[in-house]
Each structure stands twice: as C-alpha cells, then as structure tokens.
Structure 1
Amino acid sequence: MTVFAFDIETIPDVELGRRIYGLDDLSDKQVGYVMQAKRREEVGNEFLSYEQHRIVAISVGLRMREGFKVWSLGEPGAPEAEIIQRFYDGIEKYTPDLVSWNGGGFDLPVLHYRALRHGIAAPRYWESGENDQAFRWNNYLSRYHRRHLDLMDVLASYQPRARVSLQSAALLLGLPGKLGMSGDKVWDAWLAGQIEHIRNYCETDVLNTYLIYLRFELMRGRFSFDEYRMEVVRVREMLKAQPQVHFQEFLAAWPEESAGLVQGTAGAERGA
C-alpha cells in the first residue's frame, strides 16, 4: 500500500494580479487585498479564481510498507515550481493512491493551473489509459475513480449540499482539527514571514485527512478493526517520535481514549 494524503496552502499570485489590474506601484500586500476586493465585487466573496492562487506549501502524509511520515515538500520558501515538481515527481516514482479533503474541488485544479504556468511535465499523473491500460478504468483524473480519493466528495455522495469541512469531520471523529489556524489566515501569516507556521498547519491538515481516511477504509471494509487499530497506532508512534512542536500539540489534543482504538467506541458511544 502506497498512499499520499496531501494538502496545499496558497496565497494571492500578486505578480498575476499586477498584470491583470495594472497595479505596478502597489506593494504585495496592497495588491493581494485589491485582488480580494475585486473578486468580492465580482462574485460576492474573496475566494480568488483558481489560477490566481500561488502555492506556498504542499504537505504529504506518505504510507508505505516501511512506515508512515508527514512532511512538507522543499525547503521553507522554496520556489513554487520546485514544490509542485516534487509533488508530481512523487507520483511519477511511486504511483500512489492520492487522498485529500476537497482535493478534486480545489487542490488539484490549482495544481493543474500552476503546473501549466511553470511548464511542469507530469505524465504519470495525466495518464488515462493510452499508454498504461491499468489507468483506463482507474486514474487520477476521473471523479469516480480511486487513484484519487476526495474524501469530502465521496462522503457527501457527490452532493454539494451534503459536504462538510475538514474541521467538522475531524471533530466528529474526535481528532484535533485545526489547532488555531485556518486557510483564511494563510495570507496574513505569509505577509508576516511565517512560512514555517503555514507549513506546520498544512501538515496537521494532512494528519487530520489521513486519519479520516483510515476510518473510511475501516467503514468500507478495506481494513479489519485490528488492521485499522494498527494503522492508528502507527500514526501515534510517528508523532511521539517527532520533536516538532506542532506534532506534539496534535498528539496532546488527540488523547488515546478518543483515537478509536477500542472496537465499538469509534462513534456515538464516545459522543464524537
């Protein structure tokens, strides 16, 4: 089993914003706020058009035979093209199953536009059966295939009105959730030079996503309860071995009694 649970964090692409709106004399901060204000005028909210998002962090939870680990691609402040290339290089190398929360609705489309922007080749990701027949009925691109599992979409039965946030799903399962950070704070954190804080936040989102995925695999019969418990314990042991503060905070907010390690307690009996 090779699984990439992943998440991205973005900020306004102020270089593009300057070209679109002719804002050469404004600072990055000012350009970003103008882009958001223009978007609010156009559609009623500040959520930028997908191509206007610049990726500043991609975090991955990798489950392979050797174990499980979570990290952010590239060094802090690495160029966008580098971290996107690293993401697709991982797919090229491992052909993993991708797992996300709203990845089909946000993360992957943004990655598509930004890879297009930088001229990044990703043949394994874009394969749909022309060169490898195994991808004809199971590829990364189809909404209903499983090489990419968008948990938010699947759990909502592909119904927009049934979707819930990652935070809501995490709290439902007794997981720590966001721990004081959220996506709408990333731009301000970037302006304050807090790239490490952004990467740490992205990594904890990956942890929440991966742990929801484990419960989903139990629910659909891909894991026995004992196998599920072993996978959860593997994550907890990884966290215990890591000195980073955000990992220790996540572990502290995820007590063992709420980890779903006892059969029959993963749900209503815990009041989750």
Structure 2
Amino acid sequence: MNVLVFDIETVPDVAGGRRLFGLEGLDDAAAAEAMFALRRQETGNDFLRHHLQRIVAISAVFRSRDQIAVWSLGDEQSGEKTILEKFFQIIERYSPTLVSWNGSGFDLPVLHYRALLHGVASPRYWDQGQDDKNFKWNNYLSRYHDRHTDLMDLLALYNNRAFVPLDQMASLLGFPGKMGMSGAKVWDAFHGGDIKGIRDYCETDVLNTWLVYLRFQLIRGVIMEEGYQAELDMVKEYLVRETRPHFQEFLQHWQGTTGNKG
C-alpha cells in the first residue's frame, strides 16, 4: 500500500486580501497586517480564513513497498499552482492513503480552495464513486473513511475538545516534536526570504506525523512490534543516508530522547 503523509505551510494571500478588502496601494507587509487586524476585529485572533491562506510549501513522507522518501514538492522557486499540481499528481498516479494531523480541519480545506482558485483538477481525489465504485465506500472526502486518516481528528474521536498539538503528542511518544520554527513564525520567515527554512520545518512535521502514525498502526494491530521497530529503523536509516542538516538535527533529537519505545 502507498501511504502519503502530508503537511502544508501557508502565508497570507495578500493579493486576495487586496481584492476583497480594498487594500490596494499597500505593500505585502502592510496588507498582511491589515488582514490580521480585520480578522482580530472579527474573531479576537489573527488566524485568517482558509481561503485566504496561500500555500508556500507542501511536504510529504511517501512510503511505498520497501522504500521511504521525505521531501517538499517543487523547489524553492515553485509557485503555489505548481506545488498544488504536484500534490494532486501523486494522488492521480498512486491513489495513496493520505495521512495528516488536522488535515480535515485545515490542510485539505485550504488545498480545496486554492485548487479552485488556480483551476487544478484531480478527478481521483474528488471521486465519491462516480468513476470508481470502490470510492463510494472509501474516498478522500468522507470524515469517517480511512483513505484519508486525520490522526488528530480520529484519536480525539472527532471531538474538538480532545484535540492535541502534534508537537506535544510526538514528544510524549519519544519523537523529536518541533525544532525551532513553528507555524506562527512562517510568515516572518517567508517575508524574510527563508523559503528553505519553511520547507525544512514542514519536512520535520511530516516526519513526526509519520512516526505517530506508525504507533497508531501498532496499537490497532495493523503492524506488530517487530514490524513497528523495522519501520522506525527504516526512517532512521533514511535520515542517516540523507545528509541534509535538518534531517541530522531531527535524528539527533530523536536519539537523545529517553524513556520511550520511539
């Protein structure tokens, strides 16, 4: 089975903000601050609505047969449409099981709105049995189907009062959790031109999600203890082979944790 763990990073869609809120004449920083201010007036916080989140990175863990890969789609110069196209091309080609942390609440709705904006098609993703009858009973869109497994939603038994942050859950299980950057810092990093830092951060998030997913597969009996340890070893071996600094830092944090099977 092919499994695609994914995570997105976003910044304010300042072009959309200018169009919707009459912010013409403001530079990006000022337009974003105006959007935050309007949102604070509306809700008391500055977290923008899903359709005004511009995607600047999608990172993935792809597990297929006896291989694993971790990367960010496109390159540092890729525009939002290109990144979206690459994401949906993976679904069209492989029909993987999608795994996320809060994907139903944030990542997928953002992907939907931004795909709509850019006209990015993905018949396989949107299929609910019209093209493939099997998708009537297990598709990407239903909250209770496992073709997309939102770990945060499922583990909380679909109760938002029981939601927990990925960082805390991963750390509790003995995995690295967040290292340095957080979602709240992405706009500043983007505005400062640090696309690489954003992509690196997003890749560590999908690694944490994959490791938590493996533990979930263990407790529901999909894999046994021996298979679980083999999967962890595969990740560690991959990180050793990949000499990128953020992977080495992730591995060092992981090896430095104690008191847990992770």
Question: What is the TM-score of this pair, normalised by structure 2?
Answer: 0.98
Q: Give the Cα–Cα distance (whole angstroms) in 1 for the partners of residues 171 and 256 of structure 2.
A: 15
Structure 2 counterpart SS, 1:4: strand
| Structure 1: stretches of 5+ with no match in the other structure | 267-272
Q: Give the Cα–Cα distance (whole angstroms) in 1 for the partners of residues 259 and 134 of structure 2.
A: 36
Q: Give the Cα–Cα distance (whole angstroms) in 2 for the partners of residues 233 and 249 of structure 1.
A: 17
Q: Does residue 41 of structure 1 match 2:41?
A: yes
RMSD of the TM alignment (CA)?
A: 1.2
Deviations 1:60-100 (A, max 9, x none): 10000141010000010311000001000000000000000
Q: Does residue 147 of structure 1 match 2:129?
A: no
Q: Does structure 2 retain, via aligned residues, the 8 Å contact 1:175–1:259? A: no
Structure 2 counterpart SS, 1:143: coil
Structure 2 counterpart SS, 1:120: coil
Match of 1:6 in 2: 6
What is the Cα deviation at residue 259 of structure 1? 8.9
Match of 1:131 in 2: 131
Match of 1:60 in 2: 60
Alignment-mate amino acid for residue 98 of structure 1: L
Alignment-mate amino acid for residue 193 of structure 1: G
Match of 1:236 in 2: 236
Match of 1:270 in 2: none
Q: Give the Cα–Cα distance (whole angstroms) in 2 for the partners of residues 37 and 68 of structure 1.
A: 43
Structure 2 counterpart SS, 1:54: strand
Q: Does residue 22 of structure 1 match 2:22?
A: yes
What is the Cα deviation at residue 21 of structure 1? 1.7
Match of 2:163 in 1: 163
Alignment-mate amino acid for residue 125 of structure 2: Y
Match of 1:32 in 2: 32
The 1:125–1:178 alpha-carbon spacing in structure 2 relative to 1, beyond 3 Å, is same
Q: Does structure 2 retain, via aligned residues, the 8 Å contact 1:189–1:197? A: yes
Structure 1 counterpart SS, 2:254: coil
Q: Give the Cα–Cα distance (whole angstroms) in 2 for the partners of residues 210 and 258 of structure 1.
A: 19
Match of 1:89 in 2: 89
What is the Cα deviation at residue 22 of structure 1? 1.4
Q: Give the Cα–Cα distance (whole angstroms) in 1 for the partners of residues 147 and 138 of structure 2.
A: 6
Q: Give the Cα–Cα distance (whole angstroms) in 2 for the partners of residues 254 and 18 of structure 1.
A: 43
What is the Cα deviation at residue 134 of structure 1? 1.1
Q: Does structure 2 retain, via aligned residues, the 8 Å contact 1:60–1:206? A: yes
Alignment-mate amino acid for residue 50 of structure 1: H
Question: What is the TM-score of this pair, normalised by structure 1?
Answer: 0.94
| Structure 2: stretches of 5+ with no match in the other structure | none
Q: Does structure 1 retain, via aligned residues, the 8 Å contact 2:175–2:257? A: no
Match of 1:75 in 2: 75
Deviations 1:165-208 (A, max 9, x none): 01111111011111011001000000000000000000000000
Alignment of 1:74-223 (within 5 A): 74-223=74-223
Structure 2 counterpart SS, 1:243: coil
Q: Give the Cα–Cα distance (whole angstroms) in 2 for the partners of residues 181 and 166 of structure 1.
A: 14
Q: Give the Cα–Cα distance (whole angstroms) in 2 for the partners of residues 85 and 36 of structure 1.
A: 28
Structure 2 counterpart SS, 1:141: coil
The 1:238–1:256 alpha-carbon spacing in structure 2 relative to 1, beyond 3 Å, is farther
Q: Does structure 2 retain, via aligned residues, the 8 Å contact 1:232–1:259? A: no
Q: Give the Cα–Cα distance (whole angstroms) in 1 for the partners of residues 177 and 29 of structure 2.
A: 29
Structure 1 counterpart SS, 2:128: coil
127-136 or 99-108: bigger deviation: 127-136
Runs ≥4 residues deviating over 3 A: 256-260
